[in-house]
Structure 1
Amino acid sequence: ACVIPYNPGNYRDFFTAAGRPDLAEDPRVNADAVDSADHEDLAALVEACAPALTTEEWAEVCAKHSIPMAPVLELDRAHEDPYVRDGHLLDTVEHPTEGAVRTIGIPLRFSATPGSIRRLAPVAGQDTEDVLAELDATAR
C-alpha cells in the first residue's frame, strides 16, 4: 500500500495503529506542523512500520483517520479495481491492426469538452522512417 501521512495528526494516528505509540509521541509529530527537514526520516519510519498491518487493515485505519492511502495494484488486475474501473483510468479501445488493447484513459472529465483517445501507441517500427528523416539519417 502507499500510505502518505502528511500532518502531525496523520503521523500520530499512523504510528498508534502500527503499534508504535512511542513514535506517536515523537516531538517531530507533535508540533503544529511537520518540519520539511523531518520528512525523510519520518518516511523511513512509516516504511519500517507499514508491515504491521495488511493492506486491507491500513485501508480501514486510513479511511477512519483521513490519512491518504491507496493499495499498490498488480498490473494484470488493476482494471478490476473499482477506483480504476469507475474512473475510466484504463480503457479498452480497438486498435486498427492489433485488435482490442487496454490503454490509459482520460483522467479528467469536462462536461463541455469531453476528452477522447485519438491516437494509440504505434506498432514496433511504425515510425522508424519518419524519425530517421527528422534526424536526417537513414535506416541501416
Structure 2
Amino acid sequence: MRKPRPLVQVNDQQDLRRVREEDPYFSGTLAKGLLILRCFVADPRAHANSELAERLGLPRPTVSRLCGTLQALGFLDHDERLDRYFIGPAAVTLGYPYVIHTPMLGLIRPAMQALADRLEGAVSVGVTMDLARIFHERRTV
C-alpha cells in the first residue's frame, strides 16, 4: 500500500513541472484543470482563455481544451457573447461533502447558536486555505 502524499503548493506551470519531477504519479492534466477552477476562487468574475493561460503559464490551446472539458462536466459555464468562462454549478457541489463530513460542526452548532443569540448577530466558522478563508457554517439570531 502506498503512503499518503504530502500536500504540495502548485500555482502555475513551473510548479507543476517541479512536482511532476518529484512524483511521477502526480497527474499534471488533472492539476491543470483544478488550477483553472482555483482561478475563479481568487477572482470570481468571468475569464477568457487567454487570461487563464497567462495567469497559469499554460498554453492557450491546453486551457481551451481543459475549459471545454470542465464546461461539459458542469464545472464551468460559458458565455458565448463574451466568450468567457465562469464557475458552474458542479463546482459548488464539490464542497458539500466536505462540509457535511466535518465532525466538529455538529458538536459546535449549539454553542454557535447560543453565541449568535447572545450577541444578537452572526457567528461563522471556517477553515483557512492559503490566505483565503472558507466559511462552513453561519448561525444568526
Give the TM-score category using the shorter length.
under 0.3
- Bigger share in strand: 2
**Greater RCO structure (CA 8 Å; 6+ sep):** 1
TM-score, structure 1 normalization: 0.26
Higher helix proportion: 2
